Structure 1
Amino acid sequence: MPTDFDWLALEVKYLDQAAAFYEELLDLSVVDRRSNVLRFATGPSALVLRRPTGIPRGGIHTHFACSIPASEYDEWWDRLAASLDVAEERFGDAKSLYCYDPDGNCVELGQRDVSGPGIDGIFEVALEVSSLARSESLYADLGFETVDRGTGRRRVRMDGPVALELWEPHLGIADARGGVHVALGFTADEPAALAEAVAARSCSTAETDDGCVIVDPDGHHLTLRRSA
């Protein structure tokens, strides 16, 4: 199983416009800036924005969830609601707010047990899949564990270094959609062994200098970097 979640990559049309949203509204810090790529720190993981200039491109209309301290929730609501359409959902005692970035990605800020201040990690990513059974089996072999199923079998939630929501095409909370050709980065003790476990059911697997890349049957890219 992957040991840690490294990064999530999104596709954006205009880096300056996307950067303004994530820097000015969400208070994320740029840790790497290149001509076609921006990388933001989000606590223990990173958010990568890519213009569509190569493969893997990064996900489009991706729903993902970021952790915020519970005590900051009202402050974030007031801040984002001042300029965006914001929705709210409750999960037991915890609340989440939902908004959209300039490229149509649904960003969730959820109350979690984190130190902060501000966004302190990405805890969930939704992937659009064509077959729940096939995708659930593949990610189970990578070490993810099924913890919840939606009614009508439209979705499956699997826990791991980041929670993966596997969605058949539909609109979720706040009309969010699962991401298409999402790119995710992980660390793993034995990347090659994980790639071998799912090679027969993947679109492709390829070795890299420090690990491997797995492309699942729906075109999602999983980059596995060997743990230090």
Structure 2
Amino acid sequence: MFLLKSKKMEMVLANEALPGRSAAIPTAETHFLSGRPLTLDVPEGMEVAMFGMGCFWGVERIFWQLDGVWLTMVGYAGGHTPNPTYEEVCTAKTAHNEVVRVVYDPKVIGYDTLLKVFWENHDPTQGMRQGNDMGTQYRSGIYTFNEAQKAAAEASRPAMQARLTEAGFGAITTEILPAPEFYFAEDYHQQYLAKNPSGYCGIGGTGVSCPIGLGA
């Protein structure tokens, strides 16, 4: 059992990853709450962000509740396997992270605010786990779409680290990378906690406040 858990905490090499498939797996056509098309298209004037914070069910709910967020969707990113299934991701043999893709109106909510929500609503010091959820798919990650986002994310990490260190936490393990390809998760994962209000949610913050005004 211990060996099984330790393997799930290690990133698989590309040449050892599952082969995946050429076709996208089926997913929902519309957002369960808003009815908007669940698509990678970004409406004019909107921007997109992507985060990994642990189990994507709870993370998506955090973001869809924010004023200025137009659309949320859950999926897999940052791995080697094309078009993976949830079962494949759970083997830790795809290297994918569970992520939430957020389309937002920057006139209503800024990227700095999204970063603040990111840092305060999970523990970014836990490595390949989040609470009781263990494995590479639960790692902390910020995936940036432009230089401004990258600068804001990079500036926010040491600022949050200082606060966490003061509170007795260890080093931040969050990866900050250019946004990799996003693969939609299956239909039942999309807006899961809206469909199942009493469903599992393992997301929880550290209680440490993130400094305001972090971005570039």
- When normalised by structure 1's length, the TM-score is 0.28
| Larger strand fraction of residues | 1
Q: Which protein is richer in helix relative to its size? A: 2
TM-score of the two chains, using structure 2 as the length reference: 0.29
